[in-house]
Amino acid sequence: MPNFRRGAAAIEQAATSKAGGNFRAFVPEIQWREDKEEKHVLFLTAVEEIPTIQYHDWIPVGTGEKANGETYTRYEKFISRKDPAIGESYDELEDRLGVKPKTRQIAVAVELEPITEMVKGRTKAVGFSVATDTYTRKTDNGEVEVTQPKVGLVVQAAQNFFGWLSSYDASRGPIEETPMQIVRRGKNADTAYDFIALENLPVDLSALVNHIDGVSYLGNAEEITAFVSKLPEDDGEAASVIAAALLDKRLEELADKERYDELVNPIEEITQKFGGGSKKAAPRERPQRASRRVSAPASEAPEASETAEAPEETNAERFARLKDKIAQPA
């Protein structure tokens, strides 16, 4: 997988920058769609593991058909081929179709439900559990009702979202240990977010682990069974492994060259989903693409002194250790 820019330094740089098969698994996302929409969430991806990407969102790639026969426009999302982690010199969406990518961060979080008690005649939150919902899954034995945790990917900008989280992490404590109340304010270009850190309140992550087999994005039933069988017994460590698996799978998908070429090459023009008219394609002649880079440039590599000054296990090392543990044969 490409070596994406990760951590607080990449978030800070983005915050101050002016740059902008037959079966398709449902990509779980957590979004704040409306003005004043509020959610309680816990981020499972540590700040050091949050990648900064050049992101194309809401790209129309054809039509689909609903069960009732109604057609709809299919939209997909991609990482720019010019993203430093991919390292190509030509991005068809930008250079041929005129769509500029946006600088975004991507992390995994879970939605939470408050656990309340009556304290002096008032209802007070004393902790949180992972929120769940249900859906119907078709199997060889008929339809079954499945419970799934509300775990998903959060894709937002540094300027009005991840910059605040990175600052909080640096000054107060790890975001993966602190439940957050987040409220959207405004719409479109004027959107901002209010954050309230709900410190020292415990989070019961058992519903995430117990119902992770309901998250179809992780694979088919056999793959999920094998994945679950290797999860650490500690719910916190298991949540970290789940988050890493979801994030890595989505990054690989967004950066996949075959998927990009298959879906983008046929596009003749882009009609903007949220207004702005159409972008007509430039001539298809284009420069030869540079070879794919598989490592970060030297300027992004850690200094030797940084490694020497951190003898304790870092979050990145912990994630790698836990992922390796999962990858070992049963």
CA-to-CA distance for 90 and 150, rounded, in angstroms? 37
What tokens were used for 167? 């600052």
**pLDDT value of position 284:** 56
Reported as a single tens digit per residue, the pLDDT across 277-328 is 455 555 555 444 443 333 333 333 334 333 334 445 555 555 555 556 555 5
Please determine, for residue 228, whether its predicted confidence score (pLDDT) is greater than 90.
yes
Task: Please choose, from the candidates 278, 279, 30, the residue with its C-alpha nearest in 3D space to the C-alpha of residue 131.
Answer: 30
Domain that includes residue 215, residue range: 5-58+79-253+284-327
Beta-carbon contacts of 90 under 8 Å, excluding residues fewer than 6 positions away, are 81, 82, 286, 287, 289, 290
Please determine, for residue 90, whether its predicted confidence score (pLDDT) is greater than 50.
yes
Task: Please choose, from the candidates 43, 20, 299, the residue with its C-alpha nearest in 3D space to the C-alpha of residue 164.
Answer: 43
Residue 266 falls within a domain, yes or no? no
- Strands 122-130 and 203-204, bridge-based pairing: parallel
Residue 135 falls within a domain, yes or no? yes
Owner of token pair 């119907």: 136
Residue 41 in contact with residue 180, Cβ under 8 Å? yes
Mean pLDDT value of segment 36-61:
97
Output the pTM of the full model. 0.78
Residue 316 falls within a domain, yes or no? yes
Residue 69 falls within a domain, yes or no? no
Number of domains in the chain: 1
Residue 309 falls within a domain, yes or no? yes
